[in-house]
Structures are given as structure tokens and as C-alpha cells.
Amino acid sequence: MRFVYLTHSLASCWNHGNAHFLRGVLRELIHRGHEVRAMEPEDAWSLENLLRDHGEAGLDAYRANYPELRSTAFTGTEGLEAALSGADVVIVHEWNEPALVAAVGRLRRLGAPFTLLFHDTHHRAVSDPEAIRTFDLDGYDAVLAFGATLSEVYRRWGWGDRVFTWHEAADTRLFHPPEEEGPREGLVWIGNWGDGERTAELEGFLLRPAQEAGLPLDIFGVRYPEEARAMLERHGARYRGWLPNARAPEVFARHLATVHVPRRFYVDMLPGIPTIRVFEALACGIPLVSAPWRDEEGLFRPGRDYLTARDGAEMTRHLLALRDDPALRRAVVESGLETIRARHSCAHRVDELMSILSRLGTAPARKLGPTRTEEAPAP
């Protein structure tokens, strides 16, 4: 089949976590023989920030590790109909501009024969619902939501059985344990500072426990303001700056363990949705300890696939145990890998996508009249 995915950016993962999953899914589709086209706006702020900070060299890791992938830049909505001509499936990510989202829906509503999906991988539906309601989703066949609690939001908005839970996952073609084990030391945390919605959690469940356990801590990410870097320095953490996601496996391979510190929205308002770093870390065979987070969908086996800490003191105890007990490290790694390989690779997600498309009646070169959604978020 012919797939077109309209993303914020395929080339840049600078503060753009969806690029991780998207790259893995599109590559899996290509390896299964499907025709894939990615489209991204010419002025994508993620790519602009990457190039400003690192120049073209910032794209080297992506290009080297994903030679199958490339994207087409577009401006506005001109030429959209021609760009989507011949597509069997069009997926539009929620980071796109409302005008583009509406324009694609208009084409579908007027008779374009492709199946049209809206892909939501963010907390805005609960943290800023009016921002999502600015999207005109009339004409979209279904919604892909990256967690069951987010799917419920869309059901309340009237989507019924036309919203599907489609979790993120690890691209196991890239994210896997090292072929040869080398020395490991200390902790690593890969994540962006964000907008202060987990500052206290980062100090209480990462910085202070690492310091109390006497474990060196390397931190990678972007958008760390001066006060954040000062906090890291006070706790003895080493700030390493931006890390291309394609290089994350080699960084995981040098460290003893990592920590999951979810954003507050995924604890309080959208429980059960992990960050993609959980999938990626487990796939790389690095022990993980999680700050309080409820796995309400049963994606993992808490206490086996990763350790859980109810407070900072318990986090410190877990980190010390992982440091001192090779058998515990090995057991956690083996359990996490088992779960990823059984349920949470991008190959599994492509299987799920194909099942969703089958339920929607998608077939190559199908001929359908216009389909209108009955109750979409208000324009």
C-alpha cells in the first residue's frame, strides 16, 4: 500500500519525541514492501533549532542509521492534493498546523479515496483541550491515540469506535543490547527539561538519589534553562546537552542504569502512558527504575521489567541494589527485553496498524465516496 505521513519533522528529534517512533514505523513499513512518503513543513521549529545549535552535522546520526528514510518539505497547503494523489493511507500528526489538518480533511470529505487518520501523541487534549478543538477533523476516518486514557477523551468527544489506542514502541532494528558488553558506570537520564512540570520530581527521584547513592549521573537533553543547569551542578550531575536519538543505544550501553521520571500530565491526567524512553531503554538492555507511575494498561510487569520507587529513599535503595547486585541487573534486563520483544516493537505496532486499517475497510486503490465524522472536536 501507499502511505503518506504528515509529520512535524522526520529529520529532527530535537525536542520532538514522536520522531523516534515515526522513524521506526515508517522503516518497518518500507521493509514490508509498502511505499512510504513522509512530508514535513519547511519551517519546522524542531529542525530549525537542531540546525541552529549543531549545523548539518546534527543530522549525521539520523542519516547514517536510517538510510531508507527521507522526507519532502512543503509550505502551507499548496500542492497538497497532488502530493496525496495515489495514497491509500494518509496519517496526520497533531503537531501540524490547524490549516493543514483542515485542508487534508477537506480533500477526504470531497471524495479523496485514501483512509485518513489523525495521530495524537501529546497531552494537549487534557492540558489544553481548546488547542485540540481548533483542529477541524471533519473528514477524518479515525483517530490514533497513544494511550487508552487519551482514547477515552476522544470517545467523550463523540468518536466512539473510530478511535484506536496505538502506543509508541521501540525501533528494535536500532534499539537493542550491545553485541559485545563493555564496561558500564553510573546512571544516565535522557530527557528534555520541558516547562517545569516535573522539576520537583527530577530533583527528588533522580538528582538527589543519584547523589546519595554515590553514582555519577550523565544528563542529556535540551531546553535546560540556567536555573535547571544550576540544580544539576548542585547535585553533581553532568549536563551533556542534546543527544541525537539514533545515538541513544550507545549511550545506554555505557551506563549501569537509567530512571523514568514521567511528566506530571502522564501521572495525574493521562495515567498509563509511558514515555517512549521506557520502551527504548528496556529494548537496549539497561536496567530502569521508575518514579511513581501507574501502568494502568498492563503494558509491562512492574517490579520485574523495571523497578518502581514510591519515594526518593526507595529510589536510592534501588539504585544501590542495581549497583551492587549483578544478578538483579541481569534479571531486570532479561525481563524487560522479553516484554519488548513480545509486545512493544515497531513491528508490533505496524501489525496493529494493519489490523486497524482492515477494520476500517482500507485496501489498495479502493474507491470510496466522502466520509464525514459525526462528532469531531469543534473547529
Q: How does pLDDT run across 229-273, given as a tens digit for each residue?
A: 999 999 999 999 999 999 999 999 999 999 999 988 888 888 899
State the total domains in the chain: 2
21 found inside a domain: yes
- C-alpha distances (whole Å) from 294 to each of 33, 203, 308, 310 are 38, 20, 10, 11
CA-CA distance, 120 to 273, in Å (whole number)? 12
Report residue 363's pLDDT band, with 50, 70 and 90 as the boundaries.
confident
Report residue 368's pLDDT band, with 50, 70 and 90 as the boundaries.
very low
371 found inside a domain: no
| 30 shares its domain with 76 | yes
375 found inside a domain: no
Task: Provide the pLDDT for residue 375.
Answer: 37
Report CA dihedral (25, 31, 37, 43) to the nearest 10 degrees. Answer: 50
| 128 shares its domain with 193 | no
pTM of the model: 0.93
367 found inside a domain: no
| 144 shares its domain with 204 | no
- 170, 24 contact by CB (below 8 A): yes
Task: Provide the pLDDT for residue 247.
Answer: 98
User: Over 70: is that where the pLDDT of 107 sits?
Assistant: yes
| 47 shares its domain with 111 | yes
Q: How does pLDDT run across 323-339, given as a tens digit for each residue?
A: 999 999 999 999 999 99
328 found inside a domain: yes
| 105 shares its domain with 223 | no
Q: What is the extent of the structural domain holding 10? A: 2-169+345-359
| 291 shares its domain with 327 | yes
| 234 shares its domain with 326 | yes
Task: Provide the pLDDT for residue 377.
Answer: 47
Q: What average pLDDT is seen over the chain?
A: 93
Report residue 379's pLDDT band, with 50, 70 and 90 as the boundaries.
very low
| 152 shares its domain with 263 | no
| 104 shares its domain with 122 | yes
| 286 shares its domain with 155 | no
User: Over 80: is that where the pLDDT of 61 sits?
Assistant: yes
CATH number, domain containing residue 131: 3.40.50.2000
- 321, 306 contact by CB (below 8 A): no
| 336 shares its domain with 191 | yes
